[in-house]
Amino acid sequence: MIYISSDHAGLEMKKKLFDFVKEKLKKQITDLGPKKYDGNDDYPDFAVKLAMEVAKNKDNVGILICGSGHGMCVTANKIKGIRASIGYSIQGAELAKKEDDINVLCLAGRILTNDHASAIVKKFLETKFDEAEKRTRRIQKIEELEK
């Protein structure tokens, strides 16, 4: 399952990306909020909710959007089983998924254009983890830190 969420700074981009994933990429996606603009909302509330859903199944992935992407990324990485990374470029998102098996992509709603964000999301969703021994070993070391 693909989950998407944002705070107020990423709300408009979230709406566009939800439609892009559902309509253009023809993938099932669940919107975890917010549904309307609230300039006083707090990104940790949305990041934790999404990260908890993603962590339930190894096949789940998430997309989080805030102003810079940083707050969502820091928060999501506090949840056991989450490997979140910021996606400022198509190549960066590809490498993060291919080499680090990220399961949450964090985007900057105040920096990226909708078209650039869509291209980043597309690459993230179509990239598979390279299960080379060295990459698997590194993921196992990260998982050991969570015990």
CATH number of the domain at 117, please. Answer: 3.40.1400.10
Quick check: 101 pLDDT over 90?
Answer: yes
Which DSSP string corresponds to 41-70?
Answer: --HHHHHHHHHHHHTT-TT-EEEEEESSSH
What's the pLDDT tens digit per position in 103-114? 999 999 999 999
Q: Which residues pair with 18 in a beta bridge?
A: none
Q: How confident is the model at residue 2 (pLDDT cuts 50, 70, 90)?
A: very high
Domain that holds residue 83: 2-145
DSSP annotation of 24: I
Sheet containing 61-66: which strands, arranged edge to edge?
29-31, 2-6, 61-66, 104-108, 84-86
Looking at the 3D structure of the chain, how many domains does it have?
A: 1
Average pLDDT along the chain: 97
Distance CA 48, CA 99 (A): 24
Instruction: State mean pLDDT over 123-128.
Output: 98
For the stretch 8-62, pLDDT in tens is 999 999 999 999 999 999 999 999 999 999 999 999 999 999 999 999 999 999 9
pTM: 0.97
pLDDT higher than 90, residue 147:
no
